[in-house]
């Protein structure tokens, strides 16, 4: 039961002929011109290579402090004047000796310096190879490595804050105690099995059932957190639906703040969906204007309606738009049936025109609360945005405190653990042998170990780290 995190080891990409870990090099700043570019090295030959390139002996200067230097290639020819900083192992990002050389931000200079490092024995880093070494050397768990990539690519402040919370170990703080309780139960089960010849059992099936029930409450809360957490990373899709000519396209334009969709009085103008993105309460939203829901004779419009139905089926939220200036008719009711069982809000649009009381048919009766808006004037749009945020986005403070699951990989790992616990719970209820219960509990513990990376199959690591940028 003593699962160990994989320690530092070379991948095939980073092995020398003698099996030693190689020294890798890559730019740590984006490609292009700028004030400063940074070249990063990590590995056993980092300091000798950096010393040859800069003339600065790491033993003669303070660690983690910038030192001015002249950067030269392997033949001693000057490349640039810059700064160098040394990070001795293990107190570095990767856990290995790391050096960073700061150059003027010209891509040519960076290319020359990288070539010089390679000529002195370094090899170009693969995408995410620095972070992969940090993980393998125990500097971070797998969820923190993923959070690092998410932080770099975050499109909103909410996404950045959620990634930062995860980078600080938020998911590990939730998962590690849970896994510890599962391992504790497994240890008790195995002890009961080992000492089964004694007359005093250490644990009974009823006790197991009770403890597993408590564990499943915790896995259930983790699973529920994904519905909120992944929206900060991946965003949410909001479909704008309804029959033709109720103002869906004008509403899209109003929410986007630009004339994205063509607006006319002719029904069926939108033949295909149009989309745009906004940020709301830190959540990236993809707004999709769909074709009017009706039985169309035109084959192009009919295809647009089919696609609209697909979008509505997969949307996180649908804004069902009614024309508040006319009575609700059978077409509205028929279209509403397509969204009634999905998360949705009902909008009474065209509030700049005299309202018709029949719109009240959609108030109450178990339906979502109705929001009155005018896509033409902007009236009620603030209330609409608050309603969307209330339905889709948790409070930012809650995200920072909770650190919810944000990736499908996280969800699948916790779901696998929950399913295994469910089997153990059922087996305990049927008074099956403790061996059966132990097998299921062991599978649950392993699933959570895979989540944090204590058990990390090579294909999982490759899939995660190849999505990183080179130099990180």
The stretches of 290-433 forming alpha helices (DSSP H) are 299-314, 330-336, 381-392, 396-402, 408-429
326 or 200: which leads in pLDDT:
326
Q: Is residue 3 part of a domain?
A: no
Rounded CA-CA distance 289/307 in Å is: 11
Establish if 464 belongs to a structural domain: no
**pLDDT value of position 273:** 63
208/433 Cα distance (integer angstroms) = 12
CA distance 43 to 132: 13
Residue 10 has pLDDT above 50, yes or no: no
Q: Is the per-residue pLDDT at 341 higher than 90?
A: no
Q: How many domains does the chain have?
A: 3
**Domain-embedded: residue 472:** no
HEC string for 38-103: EEEEECCCHHHHHHHHHCCCHHHCCCCCCEEEEEECCCCCEEEEEEEEEECCCCCCCCCCEEEEEE
Q: Are residues 92 and 57 in the same domain?
A: yes
pLDDT at 465 over 90: no
List the single range of 53-67, 128-142, 299-313 with lowest mean pLDDT.
299-313
Whether 144 maps to a domain, the answer reads: no
Question: What angle separates helix 142-153 from helix 129-136, to the nearest 10 degrees?
Answer: 150
Contact 405, 414 (CB under 8 A): yes
Express each pLDDT in 38-82 by its tens digit: 999 999 999 999 999 999 999 999 999 999 999 998 888 999 999
Mean pLDDT across 295-300: 61
Arithmetic mean of pLDDT, 157-174: 87
Q: Do residues 97 and 54 share a domain?
A: yes
Within a domain: 433: yes
- Residue 379 maps to which CATH number? 3.40.50.300
Average confidence (pLDDT) over 448-457: 89
Which of 134-143, 173-182, 273-282 is predicted least confidently? 273-282
Residue 70 lies in a domain: yes
Query: Is residue 4 predicted with pLDDT exceeding 50?
Result: no
User: 301 falls in which pLDDT band (50, 70, 90)?
Assistant: low
Q: Answer whether residue 163 is part of any domain.
A: yes
Q: What is the mean pLDDT of the chain?
A: 83
- Mean pLDDT within 101-106: 94
Residue 401 maps to a domain: no
3-state secondary structure 89-111: CCCCCCCCCEEEEEEEECHHHHH
DSSP-assigned letter for residue 359: G
One domain, residues 125 and 251 = no
Same domain, 36 and 128: yes
Residues 322 and 373 in one domain: yes
185-235 pLDDT, tens digit each: 999 888 888 776 555 556 788 888 899 999 999 999 999 888 878 888 888
- Position 366 scores a pLDDT of 45
> Both 76 and 179 in a single domain?
no
Confidence of residue 357 (pLDDT cuts 50, 70, 90): low
Q: Are residues 202 and 334 in the same domain?
A: no
Same domain as 417, residue 388: no
The pTM of this model reads 0.75
Q: Which two tokens stand for residue 230?
A: 């992944």
Same domain, 286 and 427: no
pLDDT of 8 over the 50 cut: no
**If we measure between CA atoms, which residue out of 443, 454, 452 comes closest to residue 186?**
443
Which pLDDT value is given to residue 440?
Answer: 95
Q: What percent of the chain has pLDDT over 90?
A: 42
Predicted pLDDT at 369: 58
| 256/212 same-domain check | no
- Same domain? 294 vs 174: no
With 90 as the cut, is the pLDDT of residue 26 above it? yes
Peptide bond into 59 cis (omega under 30): no
- 129: containing domain: 12-138
Mean pLDDT to the nearest integer, 271-275: 64
Q: Mark whether 428 and 353 lie in a shared domain.
A: no
- Pick the closest to residue 330 from 294, 369, 289, 368 (CA basis): 294
How far apart are alpha carbons 371 and 381 in whole angstroms?
9
Alpha-carbon span 364 to 333, nearest angstrom: 15
The token duo for 441 is: 């509990």
Distance of CA 446 to the CA centre of its chain: 22
Helix/strand/coil percent split, the chain, to 5 = 45, 15, 35
State the Cα–Cα distance between residues 103 and 6, nearest whole angstrom: 35
């Amino acid at each position: 039961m003593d699962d160990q995190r994989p320690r530092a080891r070379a991948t095939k990409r980073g092995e020398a002929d003698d099996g030693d870990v190689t020294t890798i090099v890559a730019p740590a700043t984006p490609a292009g011109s700028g004030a400063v570019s940074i070249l990063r090295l990590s590995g056993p030959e980092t300091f000798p290579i950096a010393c040859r390139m800069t003339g600065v002996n790491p033993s003669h200067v303070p660690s983690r402090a910038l030192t001015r230097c002249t950067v030269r290639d392997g033949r001693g020819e000057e490349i640039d004047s810059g700064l160098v900083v040394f990070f001795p192992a293990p107190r570095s990002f990767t856990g290995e000796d790391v050096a960073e050389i700061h150059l003027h931000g010209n891509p040519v200079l960076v290319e020359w310096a990288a070539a010089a490092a390679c000529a002195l024995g370094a090899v170009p880093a693969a995408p995410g190879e620095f972070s992969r070494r940090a993980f393998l050397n125990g500097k971070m768990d797998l969820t923190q490595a993923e959070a690092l990539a998410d932080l770099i690519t975050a499109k909103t402040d909410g996404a950045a804050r959620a990634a930062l919370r995860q980078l600080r170990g938020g998911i590990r703080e939730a998962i590690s105690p849970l896994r510890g309780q599962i391992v504790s139960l497994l240890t008790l089960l195995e002890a009961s099995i080992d000492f089964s010849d004694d007359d005093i059992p250490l644990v009974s099936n009823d006790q197991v059932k009770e403890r597993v029930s408590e564990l499943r409450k915790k896995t259930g809360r983790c699973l529920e957190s994904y519905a909120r957490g992944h929206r900060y990373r991946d965003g949410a899709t909001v479909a704008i639906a309804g029959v033709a000519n109720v103002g869906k396209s004008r509403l899209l334009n109003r929410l986007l703040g630009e004339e994205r969709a063509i607006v006319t009085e002719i029904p069926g103008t939108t033949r295909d969906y149009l989309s745009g993105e906004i940020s709301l309460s830190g959540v990236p939203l993809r707004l999709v204007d769909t074709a009017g829901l009706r039985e169309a004779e035109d084959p192009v419009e009919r295809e647009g309606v089919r696609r609209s139905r697909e979008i509505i089926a997969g949307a996180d939220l649908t804004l069902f738009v009614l024309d508040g200036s006319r009575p609700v008719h059978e077409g509205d009711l028929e279209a509403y049936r397509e969204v009634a069982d999905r998360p949705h809000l009902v909008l009474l649009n065209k509030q700049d025109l005299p309202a018709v009381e029949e719109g009240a048919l959609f108030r109450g009766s178990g339906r979502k609360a109705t929001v009155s808006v005018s896509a033409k004037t902007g009236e009620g749009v603030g209330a609409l945005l608050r309603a969307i945020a209330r339905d889709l986005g948790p409070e930012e403070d809650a995200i920072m405190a909770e650190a919810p699951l944000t990736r499908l990989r996280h969800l699948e790992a916790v779901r696998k653990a929950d399913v295994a616990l469910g089997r153990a719970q059922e087996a305990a209820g049927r008074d099956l042998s403790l061996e059966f219960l132990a097998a299921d509990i062991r599978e649950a513990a392993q699933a959570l170990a895979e989540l944090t990376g204590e058990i990390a199959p090579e294909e999982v690591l490759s899939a995660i780290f190849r999505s990183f940028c080179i130099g990180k």
